[in-house]
Structure 1
Amino acid sequence: MEPIASAQNPRIKAWKKLQRKRERDRSGLFLVEGEHLVEEALKSNINVKEIIVVEDRELPKEWAVTEVEVVRVTERVFQELAETETPQGMIAVCEKPPPENMLFESGRYLFLDRIQDPGNLGNLVRTAEAAGLQGVVFGSGCADPYNGKVVRSTQGALFYMPVQQMDLSEALEHCRANRVPVFGTSLNGSTYSAIAPQESFALLMGNEGSGVDPSLLEQTDHNLYIPVHGRSDSLNVSVAAGILIYHLRGD
């Protein structure tokens, strides 16, 4: 089959639209760019619908792609679809997994309030998956978990970590009903080291500039902060989350 050589091809135009959240929400599809991430998607339970590759690129022989359509395109057309500065010549079109229905009856969770930087969000999901959490909740005002940069920043963790978009007040209510303690993050809280490890918990992290919404902090069981001993006034939100998650786990 001849490679697609025109950016005006209907399939190329449809895939290009997936760079926008509105189209991802409408279609239930998202793009995964780069060989490592495509491989991780294939190994996970994510449904990979198509793999788009530059015409002279061969897929690794060990990949199980017999049921996946492989579409070849020219280098120029691939540049239309790629979002990275140095594309690797491979993109997968994937179905978003069904929405999670987290009950918060027990377990360990990460709640995110208005975190907008895609790189931070991706790192937070990656940290949560590495720490064995049961889920990540994206509150209103967060970037889309299927934004291309978020997906790339997770390094594949998004394919294994349950994520849910929901109102954080509702999530906090579920935690209270199930006696799952919720820990917010605030400079007016207690030093995190004063809290003992927990069998179950939800950790609430907030916006990079303004922190957690005060109305949400009023609904938590405890609010914590990490002392800063140098001249910086704060830690990056994903770094702070890693410290707190592993402390609350007891690791």
Structure 2
Amino acid sequence: MEILSPQNARVKEWAQLLEKKYRDKQSKYLVEGIHLVQEALRAQVHIECVAYDIEKGIPSQLAQDAAARTDVEWIAVSAAVIAKCSDTKTPQPVFAVVHKERNHSNQLLRQKDALVIVLDGVQDPGNVGTIIRTADAAGANGVILGKGCADIYNPKSIRSTMGSLFHLPVVEADLLELLPKAKEAGARIISTSLQATSNCFEYDFTKKSAWLLLGSEGQGVSAEVRTLVDDDIIIPMRGQAESLNVAMAASVLLYEAVRQRFFNQTIIPVHTHK
């Protein structure tokens, strides 16, 4: 199938997905670029179609996936169509239209030793995407997005995940409803605070489910959500910076938890005998 005109009704529908209100209305989103399309195809998510540049053909990197995913419609389109469906100055030669899949928090609540990142009002889509990517790299069990967070299906958020969006549960939830359930299930809600007396390297992340709560770039965790925090910790800073970017803070906490859980073996000194 070919679609060459940017005025085509279907193309107009795709282009609408660059805006959140239409992503919500259609329950679909766009994934742009060879790597992200490939990740989506291999994750077996529900893909409506893949559109590729008619002049360049299906990218060679996707040829095997195109043969495997016979349930996906592959459409040759003009460069003008691709440009209309992209928010970048230099559009990629391929994009996919993907149906949203609702992830549920139940599986995270059931896991007794889960490592979960919880975001409260993190508004920058690049930060949200980077945190999801880091959570994936660290082997976290999931990411929870509370109210006020950037839309995970924002094109910048998706690009920042580098495909990690398809590797672990990302759940949108009301934190005032979900966090009490997590506490009842045995999770500890852990957050950062400049007033904390314990630092993140002293805290024991190994005993129970650890739900790491991070707030907005400017305001931190909201007052209502903060009432649900069990333990406050601080990331020590020996330099003069006042704070860390929220994505960097998430990385520090995640990897300290990973270090304690998987790499905290006692090092036995080696004695050399003369």
TM over 0.5: yes
Distance 1:223 1:101 in 2: 23
1:167-222, CA deviations, whole angstroms, 9 ceiling, x for partnerless residues? 11222201211121110111112311120132421000110111111332222111
Between Structure 1 and Structure 2, how many residues are aligned?
250
Q: Which moved more, 1:57-66 or 1:199-208?
A: 57-66
1:178 aligns with 2:182: no
1:111 corresponds to which letter in structure 2? V
Distance 1:6 1:43 in 2: 30
The sequence identity of aligned pairs, in percent, is 38
Matched-pair contact (CA < 8 Å) for 1:53–1:90: yes
Distance 1:85 1:104 in 2: 42
Secondary structure, counterpart of 1:193 in structure 2: coil
Secondary structure, counterpart of 1:194 in structure 2: coil
1:216 aligns with 2:225: yes
Structure 2 equivalent of residue 101 of structure 1: 105
Distance 2:87 2:69 in 1: 24
Work out which of the two has the higher radius of gyration on C-alpha atoms and give 1 or 2. 2
Structure 1 equivalent of residue 96 of structure 2: 92
Structure 2 equivalent of residue 112 of structure 1: 119
Spell out the pairing of 1:10-49 with structure 2 (5 A cutoff).
Answer: 10-49=9-48
Q: Which moved more, 1:217-226 or 1:32-41?
A: 217-226
1:66 corresponds to which letter in structure 2? T
Following superposition, the deviation at residue 246 of structure 1 comes to: 1.8
Q: In the alignment, which of 237, 246, 251 is matched to residue 242 of structure 1? A: 251
Matched-pair contact (CA < 8 Å) for 1:50–1:94: yes
Following superposition, the deviation at residue 160 of structure 1 comes to: 1.4
1:141-178, CA deviations, whole angstroms, 9 ceiling, x for partnerless residues? 00111111111100000011111111112222012111
Secondary structure, counterpart of 2:84 in structure 1: helix
Structure 2 equivalent of residue 73 of structure 1: 77
Structure 2 equivalent of residue 225 of structure 1: 234
Q: Which moved more, 1:83-92 or 1:121-130?
A: 83-92
Following superposition, the deviation at residue 74 of structure 1 comes to: 1.3
Distance 1:72 1:132 in 2: 37
Normalised by the length of structure 2, the TM-score is 0.87
Distance 1:43 1:15 in 2: 22
Q: Which moved more, 1:95-104 or 1:6-15?
A: 95-104
Matched-pair contact (CA < 8 Å) for 1:140–1:166: yes
Q: In the alignment, which of 81, 84, 87 is matched to residue 83 of structure 1? A: 87
Q: Which moved more, 1:74-83 or 1:28-37?
A: 74-83
Query: For the structure 1 residues 143 and 38, does the alpha-carbon distance in structure 2 shift closer, same or farther, using more than 3 Å as the test?
Result: same
1:70 corresponds to which letter in structure 2? W
Matched-pair contact (CA < 8 Å) for 2:27–2:100: yes
Runs of 4+ in 1 over 6 A off after TM superposition: none
Distance 2:45 2:238 in 1: 43
Matched-pair contact (CA < 8 Å) for 1:180–1:201: yes
Unaligned runs of 5+ in 2: 264-274
Secondary structure, counterpart of 1:191 in structure 2: coil
